[in-house]
Chain A
Amino acid sequence: MVRRMRYGLPLAAVFGLTVAAAALSTAVAQERERPERIAGKPNLNGIWQALNTAHWNLEGHSAEAIESLWQLGALGAIPAGQSVVVGGTIPYKPEALAKRDENRAGWPAADPEAKCYMPGIPRATYMPYPFQIVQGEGDVILFAYEFANANRPVYMNPEDHVIAPVDLWMGWSNGRWDGDTLVIEVNSNIDQTWLDRAGNYHSSAMAVTERYTLLDENIMQYEATIDDPEVFTRPWTIRMPLYRRVEDNARLLEFNCVEFAEELLYGELMTREPIASAE
Protein backbone atom coordinates (compact mmCIF):
# COMPACT_ATOMS: atom_id res chain seq x y z
CA MET A 1 0.00 0.00 0.00
CA VAL A 2 1.48 3.32 -0.99
CA ARG A 3 0.21 6.24 1.04
CA ARG A 4 -0.27 9.33 -1.05
CA MET A 5 -0.69 12.86 0.13
CA ARG A 6 -3.20 14.99 -1.66
CA TYR A 7 -1.62 15.75 -5.03
CA GLY A 8 1.82 15.06 -3.60
CA LEU A 9 4.53 12.46 -4.07
CA PRO A 10 4.15 9.05 -2.47
CA LEU A 11 5.17 9.26 1.18
CA ALA A 12 7.78 6.55 0.75
CA ALA A 13 9.45 8.49 -2.07
CA VAL A 14 9.54 11.72 -0.09
CA PHE A 15 10.81 9.99 3.03
CA GLY A 16 13.42 8.13 0.99
CA LEU A 17 14.56 11.34 -0.70
CA THR A 18 14.63 13.23 2.57
CA VAL A 19 16.59 10.53 4.38
CA ALA A 20 18.96 10.20 1.44
CA ALA A 21 19.50 13.94 1.30
CA ALA A 22 20.07 14.20 5.05
CA ALA A 23 22.54 11.32 4.97
CA LEU A 24 24.31 12.80 1.97
CA SER A 25 24.62 16.28 3.48
CA THR A 26 25.97 14.88 6.77
CA ALA A 27 28.50 12.79 4.86
CA VAL A 28 29.54 15.79 2.76
CA ALA A 29 30.01 17.99 5.85
CA GLN A 30 32.29 15.43 7.42
CA GLU A 31 34.42 14.55 4.43
CA ARG A 32 34.60 17.61 2.18
CA GLU A 33 33.14 21.04 1.75
CA ARG A 34 29.68 21.53 0.37
CA PRO A 35 29.97 22.17 -3.39
CA GLU A 36 29.16 25.78 -4.03
CA ARG A 37 27.48 25.11 -7.32
CA ILE A 38 25.54 22.26 -8.88
CA ALA A 39 25.47 22.09 -12.65
CA GLY A 40 26.56 25.72 -12.70
CA LYS A 41 23.79 26.90 -10.39
CA PRO A 42 23.93 27.92 -6.70
CA ASN A 43 23.67 24.95 -4.34
CA LEU A 44 20.53 25.49 -2.25
CA ASN A 45 20.56 22.05 -0.64
CA GLY A 46 20.00 21.98 3.08
CA ILE A 47 17.58 22.56 5.92
CA TRP A 48 16.21 26.10 6.09
CA GLN A 49 13.88 27.92 8.44
CA ALA A 50 12.32 31.36 8.81
CA LEU A 51 12.85 33.15 12.10
CA ASN A 52 10.02 35.66 12.50
CA THR A 53 6.35 35.94 13.41
CA ALA A 54 5.04 35.91 9.85
CA HIS A 55 3.23 32.66 10.59
CA TRP A 56 1.11 34.54 13.15
CA ASN A 57 0.53 37.63 11.03
CA LEU A 58 2.25 38.89 7.89
CA GLU A 59 1.47 42.46 8.92
CA GLY A 60 2.99 44.23 11.93
CA HIS A 61 1.27 43.42 15.19
CA SER A 62 1.58 44.00 18.94
CA ALA A 63 1.68 41.21 21.49
CA GLU A 64 -1.78 39.99 22.39
CA ALA A 65 -3.52 37.27 24.32
CA ILE A 66 -5.51 34.45 22.77
CA GLU A 67 -8.67 34.67 24.82
CA SER A 68 -9.78 31.09 24.31
CA LEU A 69 -6.40 29.84 25.55
CA TRP A 70 -6.32 31.87 28.77
CA GLN A 71 -5.37 28.79 30.82
CA LEU A 72 -1.96 28.87 29.10
CA GLY A 73 -1.24 32.37 30.36
CA ALA A 74 1.73 33.87 28.57
CA LEU A 75 2.31 30.53 26.85
CA GLY A 76 -0.87 31.11 24.90
CA ALA A 77 -0.05 34.64 23.80
CA ILE A 78 0.98 35.93 20.38
CA PRO A 79 4.32 37.78 20.42
CA ALA A 80 4.79 41.14 18.74
CA GLY A 81 6.13 41.14 15.21
CA GLN A 82 7.13 43.47 12.41
CA SER A 83 5.53 43.36 9.02
CA VAL A 84 7.18 41.24 6.33
CA VAL A 85 5.02 42.93 3.71
CA VAL A 86 6.89 45.37 1.49
CA GLY A 87 5.03 48.63 2.10
CA GLY A 88 3.68 47.46 5.45
CA THR A 89 0.07 46.43 4.87
CA ILE A 90 -1.71 44.00 2.59
CA PRO A 91 -3.69 45.84 -0.11
CA TYR A 92 -7.09 44.24 0.28
CA LYS A 93 -10.02 45.33 -1.81
CA PRO A 94 -12.42 46.95 0.68
CA GLU A 95 -15.10 44.32 0.07
CA ALA A 96 -12.56 41.51 0.63
CA LEU A 97 -11.72 42.61 4.17
CA ALA A 98 -14.98 41.18 5.48
CA LYS A 99 -13.84 37.64 4.71
CA ARG A 100 -10.48 38.23 6.40
CA ASP A 101 -12.29 39.46 9.51
CA GLU A 102 -14.59 36.46 9.37
CA ASN A 103 -11.57 34.17 9.16
CA ARG A 104 -10.00 35.95 12.11
CA ALA A 105 -13.13 35.59 14.20
CA GLY A 106 -13.29 31.87 13.46
CA TRP A 107 -9.69 31.24 14.48
CA PRO A 108 -8.35 28.74 15.59
CA ALA A 109 -11.01 26.23 14.53
CA ALA A 110 -11.41 27.83 11.10
CA ASP A 111 -7.67 27.87 10.39
CA PRO A 112 -6.71 25.07 7.98
CA GLU A 113 -3.42 24.79 9.89
CA ALA A 114 -5.38 23.65 12.96
CA LYS A 115 -6.80 20.80 10.89
CA CYS A 116 -3.34 19.78 9.70
CA TYR A 117 -4.21 20.65 6.11
CA MET A 118 -1.28 21.31 3.81
CA PRO A 119 -0.36 24.98 4.23
CA GLY A 120 0.19 25.93 0.61
CA ILE A 121 2.69 28.43 -0.77
CA PRO A 122 3.86 30.85 0.60
CA ARG A 123 2.66 29.95 4.10
CA ALA A 124 4.68 26.69 4.17
CA THR A 125 7.91 28.69 3.80
CA TYR A 126 7.55 30.73 6.98
CA MET A 127 5.84 28.28 9.30
CA PRO A 128 7.99 27.95 12.44
CA TYR A 129 9.35 24.57 11.37
CA PRO A 130 12.28 23.66 9.11
CA PHE A 131 12.00 22.70 5.47
CA GLN A 132 14.46 20.99 3.20
CA ILE A 133 15.54 21.77 -0.34
CA VAL A 134 16.69 18.76 -2.31
CA GLN A 135 18.49 19.88 -5.44
CA GLY A 136 20.39 17.76 -7.91
CA GLU A 137 21.19 18.10 -11.58
CA GLY A 138 17.80 16.82 -12.67
CA ASP A 139 14.53 18.33 -13.76
CA VAL A 140 12.94 18.59 -10.32
CA ILE A 141 13.95 20.42 -7.15
CA LEU A 142 12.04 19.09 -4.14
CA PHE A 143 10.92 21.24 -1.25
CA ALA A 144 9.95 19.10 1.76
CA TYR A 145 8.30 20.81 4.74
CA GLU A 146 8.23 19.35 8.23
CA PHE A 147 4.62 20.40 8.88
CA ALA A 148 2.15 17.70 7.91
CA ASN A 149 4.81 16.13 5.65
CA ALA A 150 3.86 18.71 3.05
CA ASN A 151 6.08 18.83 0.01
CA ARG A 152 6.11 20.13 -3.53
CA PRO A 153 8.19 19.34 -6.56
CA VAL A 154 9.47 22.37 -8.47
CA TYR A 155 9.53 21.56 -12.18
CA MET A 156 12.64 23.04 -13.75
CA ASN A 157 12.10 21.65 -17.25
CA PRO A 158 10.13 24.17 -19.36
CA GLU A 159 8.26 21.22 -20.91
CA ASP A 160 6.64 20.65 -17.51
CA HIS A 161 5.67 24.30 -17.10
CA VAL A 162 1.93 23.93 -17.22
CA ILE A 163 -1.11 25.06 -15.30
CA ALA A 164 -2.50 22.11 -13.36
CA PRO A 165 -5.95 20.91 -14.47
CA VAL A 166 -7.41 21.33 -10.97
CA ASP A 167 -6.54 23.43 -7.93
CA LEU A 168 -3.99 21.95 -5.56
CA TRP A 169 -3.21 22.52 -1.88
CA MET A 170 0.50 23.04 -2.54
CA GLY A 171 -0.07 24.47 -6.02
CA TRP A 172 1.90 23.60 -9.14
CA SER A 173 5.44 25.02 -9.12
CA ASN A 174 7.23 26.01 -12.31
CA GLY A 175 10.87 26.92 -11.63
CA ARG A 176 13.72 28.58 -13.51
CA TRP A 177 16.98 30.33 -12.75
CA ASP A 178 17.34 34.11 -13.12
CA GLY A 179 21.09 34.46 -12.74
CA ASP A 180 21.77 33.11 -9.25
CA THR A 181 18.15 33.46 -8.10
CA LEU A 182 15.75 30.55 -8.15
CA VAL A 183 12.43 31.88 -9.42
CA ILE A 184 9.35 29.74 -8.86
CA GLU A 185 5.92 30.54 -10.24
CA VAL A 186 3.18 28.73 -8.37
CA ASN A 187 -0.21 28.36 -10.04
CA SER A 188 -3.40 26.39 -9.33
CA ASN A 189 -3.61 27.33 -5.67
CA ILE A 190 -6.78 26.01 -4.02
CA ASP A 191 -8.68 28.72 -2.17
CA GLN A 192 -8.82 26.69 1.06
CA THR A 193 -5.39 27.72 2.40
CA TRP A 194 -4.65 30.82 4.46
CA LEU A 195 -1.57 33.03 4.36
CA ASP A 196 -1.08 33.14 8.16
CA ARG A 197 -2.93 32.60 11.47
CA ALA A 198 -4.44 36.10 11.29
CA GLY A 199 -7.00 35.10 8.70
CA ASN A 200 -5.20 36.62 5.70
CA TYR A 201 -6.41 34.63 2.71
CA HIS A 202 -6.54 34.42 -1.07
CA SER A 203 -8.75 33.13 -3.87
CA SER A 204 -8.05 30.36 -6.38
CA ALA A 205 -6.98 33.09 -8.80
CA MET A 206 -3.80 33.64 -6.78
CA ALA A 207 -0.47 33.21 -8.53
CA VAL A 208 2.68 33.35 -6.39
CA THR A 209 6.15 34.21 -7.70
CA GLU A 210 8.92 33.24 -5.30
CA ARG A 211 12.57 34.26 -5.45
CA TYR A 212 15.27 32.45 -3.49
CA THR A 213 18.73 34.09 -3.45
CA LEU A 214 21.69 33.02 -1.34
CA LEU A 215 23.16 36.03 0.52
CA ASP A 216 25.94 33.91 1.94
CA GLU A 217 26.42 30.23 2.68
CA ASN A 218 23.87 30.18 5.52
CA ILE A 219 21.38 32.92 4.75
CA MET A 220 18.93 33.05 1.89
CA GLN A 221 16.77 36.00 0.88
CA TYR A 222 13.17 34.96 0.27
CA GLU A 223 10.67 37.07 -1.63
CA ALA A 224 7.18 36.07 -2.65
CA THR A 225 4.89 38.20 -4.77
CA ILE A 226 1.20 37.45 -4.44
CA ASP A 227 -0.94 38.32 -7.43
CA ASP A 228 -4.65 37.77 -6.78
CA PRO A 229 -6.86 40.30 -8.55
CA GLU A 230 -10.00 38.93 -6.90
CA VAL A 231 -8.93 39.78 -3.36
CA PHE A 232 -6.26 42.48 -3.59
CA THR A 233 -6.04 45.80 -5.44
CA ARG A 234 -2.54 45.02 -6.77
CA PRO A 235 0.22 42.41 -6.48
CA TRP A 236 2.15 42.69 -3.23
CA THR A 237 5.41 41.21 -1.95
CA ILE A 238 6.67 39.71 1.27
CA ARG A 239 10.39 39.55 2.02
CA MET A 240 12.34 37.79 4.75
CA PRO A 241 15.64 36.01 5.35
CA LEU A 242 15.74 32.23 5.68
CA TYR A 243 18.43 30.74 7.87
CA ARG A 244 20.25 27.47 7.40
CA ARG A 245 19.95 24.98 10.26
CA VAL A 246 23.67 24.40 10.76
CA GLU A 247 23.60 21.79 13.54
CA ASP A 248 25.51 18.65 12.58
CA ASN A 249 22.35 16.63 13.09
CA ALA A 250 19.97 19.06 11.40
CA ARG A 251 17.08 17.14 9.84
CA LEU A 252 13.34 17.23 9.36
CA LEU A 253 11.45 15.36 12.04
CA GLU A 254 7.97 13.97 11.63
CA PHE A 255 5.05 16.25 12.38
CA ASN A 256 2.12 14.02 11.50
CA CYS A 257 -0.47 16.34 12.92
CA VAL A 258 -3.61 14.67 11.59
CA GLU A 259 -3.97 12.67 14.79
CA PHE A 260 -3.82 15.88 16.83
CA ALA A 261 -6.62 17.37 14.74
CA GLU A 262 -9.06 14.47 14.98
CA GLU A 263 -10.98 15.82 17.95
CA LEU A 264 -11.34 19.16 16.18
CA LEU A 265 -12.44 17.59 12.92
CA TYR A 266 -14.51 14.64 14.06
CA GLY A 267 -15.03 15.11 17.79
CA GLU A 268 -18.79 15.37 17.50
CA LEU A 269 -18.91 12.12 15.53
CA MET A 270 -16.76 10.10 17.88
CA THR A 271 -18.39 7.78 20.39
CA ARG A 272 -17.22 8.00 23.96
CA GLU A 273 -17.79 4.28 24.54
CA PRO A 274 -14.60 2.26 25.05
CA ILE A 275 -14.24 -0.66 22.64
CA ALA A 276 -13.09 -3.13 25.32
CA SER A 277 -14.27 -3.22 28.90
CA ALA A 278 -11.69 -2.20 31.49
CA GLU A 279 -12.79 -4.88 33.97
Chain B
Amino acid sequence: MSRNAVAASVIAALAVLCAAAPAAAHHSFAAEFDINQPIQLSGEVIRMEFTNPHSWIYLRVTTDSGEVQEWAIEGGAPNALIRRGWNRNSLPAGTPVTVLGYRSKDGALRASGASVTLPDGSSLNVSSTGVGAPSAE
Protein backbone atom coordinates (compact mmCIF):
# COMPACT_ATOMS: atom_id res chain seq x y z
CA MET B 1 0.00 0.00 0.00
CA SER B 2 1.27 3.49 -0.68
CA ARG B 3 2.16 5.69 2.27
CA ASN B 4 -0.87 7.83 1.48
CA ALA B 5 -3.18 4.84 1.67
CA VAL B 6 -1.60 3.63 4.92
CA ALA B 7 -1.96 7.08 6.49
CA ALA B 8 -5.53 7.34 5.28
CA SER B 9 -6.51 3.97 6.67
CA VAL B 10 -4.87 4.72 10.03
CA ILE B 11 -6.83 7.95 10.27
CA ALA B 12 -10.02 6.15 9.26
CA ALA B 13 -9.42 3.52 11.94
CA LEU B 14 -8.81 6.18 14.58
CA ALA B 15 -11.96 8.01 13.52
CA VAL B 16 -14.02 4.84 13.94
CA LEU B 17 -12.54 4.31 17.39
CA CYS B 18 -13.30 7.86 18.44
CA ALA B 19 -16.88 7.63 17.19
CA ALA B 20 -17.39 4.38 19.07
CA ALA B 21 -16.28 5.82 22.42
CA PRO B 22 -18.87 8.42 23.56
CA ALA B 23 -16.82 9.26 26.64
CA ALA B 24 -14.22 10.81 24.36
CA ALA B 25 -16.80 13.04 22.72
CA HIS B 26 -16.98 15.65 25.49
CA HIS B 27 -14.17 16.91 27.68
CA SER B 28 -14.19 15.75 31.28
CA PHE B 29 -14.07 17.92 34.38
CA ALA B 30 -10.74 16.42 35.36
CA ALA B 31 -9.14 17.28 32.05
CA GLU B 32 -9.74 20.98 32.52
CA PHE B 33 -10.33 21.72 36.19
CA ASP B 34 -8.52 20.82 39.40
CA ILE B 35 -10.58 19.22 42.15
CA ASN B 36 -7.72 20.06 44.54
CA GLN B 37 -8.03 23.78 43.88
CA PRO B 38 -11.44 24.74 45.24
CA ILE B 39 -12.05 28.45 45.14
CA GLN B 40 -14.52 30.91 46.60
CA LEU B 41 -15.10 34.08 44.63
CA SER B 42 -17.20 37.05 45.70
CA GLY B 43 -18.06 39.60 43.11
CA GLU B 44 -20.59 41.25 40.89
CA VAL B 45 -22.29 39.50 37.99
CA ILE B 46 -21.33 41.04 34.64
CA ARG B 47 -23.67 38.79 32.66
CA MET B 48 -24.95 35.23 32.48
CA GLU B 49 -25.22 33.29 29.24
CA PHE B 50 -27.49 30.27 28.90
CA THR B 51 -25.64 28.34 26.21
CA ASN B 52 -24.94 24.74 25.30
CA PRO B 53 -22.94 22.75 26.21
CA HIS B 54 -22.22 24.99 29.23
CA SER B 55 -23.76 28.13 30.63
CA TRP B 56 -21.35 30.84 31.69
CA ILE B 57 -21.39 33.41 34.48
CA TYR B 58 -18.99 36.32 34.07
CA LEU B 59 -17.98 37.77 37.41
CA ARG B 60 -16.15 40.97 38.36
CA VAL B 61 -14.01 40.24 41.41
CA THR B 62 -11.87 42.67 43.38
CA THR B 63 -8.97 40.90 45.05
CA ASP B 64 -7.61 41.78 48.51
CA SER B 65 -4.84 43.72 46.82
CA GLY B 66 -7.38 45.86 45.01
CA GLU B 67 -6.90 44.29 41.56
CA VAL B 68 -10.10 43.95 39.52
CA GLN B 69 -10.40 40.61 37.77
CA GLU B 70 -12.96 39.23 35.33
CA TRP B 71 -13.68 35.57 35.98
CA ALA B 72 -15.52 33.09 33.77
CA ILE B 73 -17.50 30.49 35.70
CA GLU B 74 -18.59 27.45 33.71
CA GLY B 75 -21.94 25.97 34.67
CA GLY B 76 -24.34 23.28 33.55
CA ALA B 77 -26.33 23.24 30.33
CA PRO B 78 -29.56 25.32 30.27
CA ASN B 79 -31.77 22.21 30.47
CA ALA B 80 -30.02 21.07 33.64
CA LEU B 81 -30.08 24.53 35.22
CA ILE B 82 -33.73 25.17 34.40
CA ARG B 83 -34.71 21.96 36.16
CA ARG B 84 -32.93 23.23 39.26
CA GLY B 85 -34.88 26.47 39.22
CA TRP B 86 -32.67 28.78 37.15
CA ASN B 87 -34.16 31.20 34.63
CA ARG B 88 -33.17 34.37 32.81
CA ASN B 89 -33.94 36.48 35.90
CA SER B 90 -31.81 34.46 38.32
CA LEU B 91 -28.64 36.55 37.98
CA PRO B 92 -29.22 40.04 36.64
CA ALA B 93 -26.11 42.06 35.85
CA GLY B 94 -24.84 43.76 38.98
CA THR B 95 -26.01 41.10 41.46
CA PRO B 96 -23.41 40.54 44.19
CA VAL B 97 -22.82 36.81 44.55
CA THR B 98 -20.45 34.29 46.06
CA VAL B 99 -19.41 31.43 43.80
CA LEU B 100 -17.92 28.13 44.94
CA GLY B 101 -16.02 26.27 42.26
CA TYR B 102 -12.83 24.62 41.11
CA ARG B 103 -10.01 26.43 39.37
CA SER B 104 -8.96 25.81 35.82
CA LYS B 105 -5.76 23.76 35.56
CA ASP B 106 -4.11 26.24 33.19
CA GLY B 107 -4.22 29.03 35.76
CA ALA B 108 -6.64 31.17 33.76
CA LEU B 109 -9.33 33.22 35.50
CA ARG B 110 -11.79 30.42 34.90
CA ALA B 111 -13.48 27.94 37.20
CA SER B 112 -16.03 25.16 37.06
CA GLY B 113 -18.89 26.43 39.18
CA ALA B 114 -20.53 24.31 41.86
CA SER B 115 -22.86 26.72 43.62
CA VAL B 116 -23.85 30.37 43.55
CA THR B 117 -25.03 32.12 46.73
CA LEU B 118 -27.38 35.06 46.20
CA PRO B 119 -27.68 38.24 48.31
CA ASP B 120 -30.68 36.80 50.17
CA GLY B 121 -28.58 33.85 51.33
CA SER B 122 -30.20 31.25 49.11
CA SER B 123 -27.97 29.24 46.84
CA LEU B 124 -28.38 27.70 43.41
CA ASN B 125 -26.61 24.61 42.10
CA VAL B 126 -24.76 25.55 38.92
CA SER B 127 -22.59 22.45 38.47
CA SER B 128 -22.10 20.71 35.13
CA THR B 129 -23.52 17.22 34.66
CA GLY B 130 -22.14 14.19 32.87
CA VAL B 131 -18.51 15.27 32.94
CA GLY B 132 -17.47 14.07 36.39
CA ALA B 133 -17.83 17.48 38.02
CA PRO B 134 -18.46 17.39 41.77
CA SER B 135 -22.03 18.31 42.61
CA ALA B 136 -22.82 21.14 44.96
CA GLU B 137 -25.47 19.04 46.70
Least Cβ distance of B10 to chain A in Å?
Answer: 8
- In this complex, the interface size class of chain A, counting residues with CB under 8 Å from chain B, is 10 to 19
* CB-CB contacts below 8 Å: B36-92 with A: 50, 52, 78, 82, 86-88
Least Cβ distance of B110 to chain A in Å?
Answer: 17
| A to B contact number (C-beta, < 8 Å) | 27
List chain B residues, Cβ under 8 A from A167: 50, 88
* CB-CB contacts below 8 Å: A64-113 with B: none
Number of interface residues of B (CB under 8 A): 13
Overall SS of chain A's interface: loop
B3 touching A279 by the CB < 8 A rule? yes
Least Cβ distance of A101 to chain B in Å?
Answer: 23
B87 touching A166 by the CB < 8 A rule? yes
A166 touching B50 by the CB < 8 A rule? yes
Least Cβ distance of B46 to chain A in Å?
Answer: 15
B23 at interface by CB-CB < 8 Å: no
List chain A residues, Cβ under 8 A from B88: 165-167, 188, 204
* CB-CB contacts below 8 Å: B4-29 with A: 4, 7-8, 11, 22
A276 touching B8 by the CB < 8 A rule? yes
A166 touching B82 by the CB < 8 A rule? yes
Least Cβ distance of B56 to chain A in Å?
Answer: 13
List chain A residues, Cβ under 8 A from B87: 165-166
A6 at interface by CB-CB < 8 Å: yes
A165 touching B3 by the CB < 8 A rule? no
Give bound CA distance, A204 to B52, whole Å.
Answer: 18
List chain A residues, Cβ under 8 A from B3: 277, 279
A270 at interface by CB-CB < 8 Å: no
List chain B residues, Cβ under 8 A from A29: none
Identity of the chain A residue whose Cβ is nearest the Cβ of B88 in the assembled complex? A166
Interface positions of B (Cβ within 8 A of A): 3-4, 7-8, 11, 22, 50, 52, 78, 82, 86-88
